[in-house]
Amino acid sequence: MRIAPQPGERIDRRKPFTFEYDGAKITGFEGDTIGSALYAAGRRVFSRSFKYHRPRGLLCCSGDCPNCMMTVDGVPNVRLCVEPVRDGAVVRAQNVLGSLERDLLSVVDRLGGPFTPVGFYYRTMIRPRRLWPVYERFLRNVAGLGRVGGADGHARRYDTEHRRAEVLVIGGGGAGRQAAAAAAAEGRQVVLVDERGGVTAGGPYEVLAPARALGIYEGGLVPVDAGDVLYRFRAERIVVATGAIEQPLVFPGNDLVGVMLPNGVRRLASEWSIKPGEHAAIVSVDDNGLEVAEDLRRAGTEVARVVDLRAERPVHLAAVGRRGRLSRLVVDGEAVDCDLLVMSGGRQPAYSLLAQSGARVEYDPQRGIFVPTDLPPGVEAVGSAAGELGPAAVPAASFDGGRNRGRSFVCVCEDVTEKDLKRALAEGFDSIELAKRYTTVTMGPCQGRLCHVSSIRLLARETETDEAAIGTTTARPPWSPVELGLLAGRHYEAAKRTPLHFRHVEAGATMMWTGQWRRPFDYGDSEAEVRAVHESLGVIDVSTLGKILVEGPDAPELLERLYPNRFADLAAGRIRYGVLTTDGGRIMDDGTIARLGDELYYVTTTSTGSESVCEWFEWWNAVWGYDVEIVNVTGALAAVNLAGPRAREALAGLTDADVSNDAFRYLDAKEISVAGIPCLGLRIGFVGELGYELHCPASAGEHLWDALVALGAVPFGLEPQRVLRLEKAHIIVGQDTDSESNLLSAGMPWIVKLEKEDFVGKWAVEHLQERGVRERLVGFTMDVLPPEGAQVVRDGRPVGRVTSARVSERVGRVIGLAWVGPDRAEEGAAISIRVDGADHPATVTLTPFYDPQGELLRS
């Protein structure tokens, strides 16, 4: 119930908001959080603990601890104590079977204790192994936090924004605001990030609130979680004003509902005007805890007992409860009835972000806290985060409960008790990093905010050393829990579209991915498209081919040294096939190279190879110090291949240029105008019929395509092209070759000109020639269609594999390419290929299946 307005009240009672909690309507006011509204409505149990399903209530009211996490509007693990109220929100408890008040799984707490010590699942549930999946499913259901709903994650939109700040202040407390104002007064561009949203905007600096800095990365990168937007800040100066975090005390019953930290109580009583309890007790090492007494009295709560640990040193201390709720505090045998216990174990500088940025953290034994030192350049700490804190006594690592033997929790997130940590130590996990991994202390949602210091203190006492010797664990981002969707941001899949893309779509093509490119698989009838090329005229969009201009006085020399075959002696206007190999002689990419002038070459690459080939060229150009420009013009040009017996006649109809077989020979390159468009014409063919490749400005591509189609050219897709090229036994780099393939094994020894002084990969080819190759790529024919990747077998053992196979109507059989042992690489050799478990005979062929002499291409 609300009490009369308090001096620090932050709610506006004229503005009510109503939300739904487990079926009931709850009303709060503007300024309330869902957590405070529920507390005002009399709710005390806010969650069930991770492992034991113990009831847990509000503890910090500052968004630090896991105790108030529920599912709000389908989003799991929302900390209600900092989630503003809003109309219509649907709030549900999580990790319970039944309700928060009656959770059937709490049986784990009553019965499971002796059977579920730390790390029990490593030991007791590993045998028999096959049952592990069953155990695992059970454990996952019993333990844990909220569940991610199936479709809920997709309903929300997350954006990423790149920001810059001269000064980024993290934390909107007094010290942070002061630092921000000072920097702004110096004329700096300042952004202040505040978790709580209590700082008002509109001042001399920008305020982002509520928003959380997740980490400090190299180069001053600070990701900031602002709910629906992740800001990636690059800051010249970072001021960390994250304040200090109130620490709990370790004693039996310290997790009971009603045991709270000072700020939690202060906020309930003074900011939200709620009577936190009827009878309260306070146990504190500092004034911070004691001062709450004043807030409590104002709110009408009786303060029954105050234990100032600077003055008193009780031997026994315990909280005792009924059904998980606090009922009394017992100090050295003296019991006090209370439903609220304020515990204060001192305040610890929130140094995590500083440690991430590279600062050292040192233990101050006088004050019992870890203080950041040696800050890296560009990073500052101010206020409590820097260790500017009032005096406090150093609390005992834990209190003995005397006759009251409840569990003492070190970590409420992961339900790690004092006993668990001691057990880990006894088993030899005696460094803080090992104990952390074994018990998962500090690894829960609070990320060590409430358990880091306690666990170090306990380890120090148990190993009879000091906290400095134990040291801290490595601080890693994220410092605050963050939704994975926010880190992922928008999902975009980059698609490259050729200049003819929409012509294909309009023609009803089935589009497919090849790398980043979208390409037509076919236009509905692959076989008919193959037939059109053989019998009449086809046209295919080959704009995806990489296209590179290589120009300069050293261009011939550069290509001569890059390729295993010759390019310096290539005549202007002529074309030659080339294969690029790595230093180790492995096949990297292939394509055609046309010489357009003394110092100018036009190189084509595979569809996926243009960028890597360009980089390869530029690298060697720099290494050899040549005067050559390498220009990637892939996107500048649309390219089509016009192929079929009617190709010449069709081309002649669209150009004034002489395209007769004498004037435009096989492997000629010519700049001609086609359909009014300037084109580079290349007389080459990946498919086995007479063909011309026409390269023209991308923006004129549709015009050229339309002109060719109007002359009767049948568009054909990638699938028919694959049949047509296989008939010619043309390899596809990456399909028929892999990262081990070389020119000798791939059956292209004619490309290698070993008499050249040098070329990339020459030593490797020489070496291979001496040693011989282990495999050979050969053609084969057979009567059934093997899947690509099918095994070539001999005596039942695999000795090779099929890389490509298609039914060729033209050849009248199944044709394909396969890797076989070198002894099988003979014309007519018999091999076996396994298809669906049965071995089928196949015959090796070393020449193209169709037009082996290439007469059609030259005709």
Partner 1 sequence: MSRLSFLSPDEADAGVALVSPLRHAVSEGLTDVSALGKLEIRGENAALEPEPGEELIRISDDRALLVTDASTRAARERLAADDRRVYDMTAALAAFEVEGEELLRRLTELDLEALPAIGSIARGTPALIERRGGGERFRLFVPQELGHFVAEVVADMARGLGR
Binding region for partner 1 (CB under 8 A): 157, 159-164, 232, 234, 490, 492, 494-499, 501-502, 517, 543, 549, 551-552, 596-600, 629, 631, 633-637, 671, 673, 675-680, 695-700, 702-703
**Rg of the chain, C-alpha, whole Å:** 38
- What is the C-alpha separation between 188 and 165, in angstroms, rounded? 9
Task: For the CB of residue 228, give the shortest distance to partner 1 in the complex, in Å.
Answer: 9
Tokens of 165: 């700040």
Shortest gap between Cβ of 580 and partner 1 (angstroms)? 22
Q: Which is nearer to partner 1, 460 or 694 (CB)?
A: 694
840 with 820: CB under 8 angstroms?
Answer: no
Please state, in angstroms and rounded to a whole number, the distance separating the CA atoms of residues 570 and 602.
12
Cα(857)–Cα(859) distance, rounded to whole angstroms?
6
Per-residue buried b or exposed e for 334-351, using 16+ beta carbons within 10 Å of the residue's own CB: eeeebbbbbbbbbbbbbb
- Nearest residue (CB) to partner 1, 450 versus 718: 718
Q: How far is the CB of 478 from partner 1 (least distance, A)?
A: 20
Q: Shortest distance, CB of residue 205 to partner 1, whole angstroms?
A: 18
Query: How far lies 802's CA from each of 572, 779, 786, 811, in Å?
Result: 39, 10, 8, 18
Least distance between partner 1 and beta carbon 636 (Å): 3
**Cβ neighbour number for residue 439 with a 10 Å cutoff:** 24
Q: How many CB atoms lie within 10 A of CB 4?
A: 9
Please tell me the distance from the alpha carbon of residue 683 to that of residue 661, in angstroms, as a whole number.
Answer: 10
CA 286 to chain centroid: 44
- For residue 779, what are the CA distances in angstroms to 690, 745, 793? 22, 13, 16
| Closest by Cα among 461, 442, 467 to 452 | 442
The Cβ of residue 678 has, within 10 Å, a number of other Cβ atoms equal to: 12
**Token pair of 783 as six digits:** 């009567």
In the complex, least distance from residue 153 CB atom to partner 1, rounded to whole angstroms: 17
Cβ proximity to partner 1: between 611 and 827 the closer is 611
* Cβ closest to partner 1, residue 468 vs residue 636: 636
- Cα 139 to chain center, whole Å? 27
Per the CB < 8 A criterion, the answer to whether 319 and 251 are in contact is yes
Helix ranges, 495-646 (H) = 501-506, 526-535, 555-562, 610-624
Instruction: Supply the DSSP string of 109-161, one letter for each residue.
Output: HHHSGGG--TTHHHHTT-SSGGGHHHHHHHHHHHSSS----TTHHHHS--EEE
Which residues, other chains included, contact 129 with Cβ-Cβ below 8 Å and sequence gap of 6+? none
Q: Judged by CB, which is closer to partner 1: 272, or 705?
A: 705
The nearest distance, CB 485 to partner 1, in angstroms, is 13
Shortest distance, position 356 Cβ to partner 1, whole Å:
21
Give least dist CB 231 to partner 1, A: 9
Least Å from the CB of residue 168 to partner 1: 15
Q: Which is nearer to partner 1, 361 or 511 (CB)?
A: 511
Give the residue with the Cβ less far from partner 1, 65 or 614. 614
Pick from 431, 449, 109: nearest CA to 247: 449
- CB of 30: closest distance to partner 1 in angstroms? 23
Q: Between 570 and 723, whose beta carbon lies closer to partner 1?
A: 570
**164, β-bridge pairs:** 234
Residue whose CB is less far from partner 1, 101 or 166: 166
Using alpha carbons, list the distances in angstroms from residue 176 to 172, 330, 372: 5, 40, 17
Least distance to partner 1 from the beta carbon of 502, Å?
A: 5
Closer to partner 1 by Cβ: residue 13 or 162: 162
For partner 1, the closer of residues 696 and 857 by Cβ is: 696
From the centroid of its chain, how far is CA 606?
29
* Spatial distance between the Cα atoms of 760 and 745, rounded to a whole number of angstroms: 17
**Residue closer to partner 1, measured from CB, 148 or 549:** 549
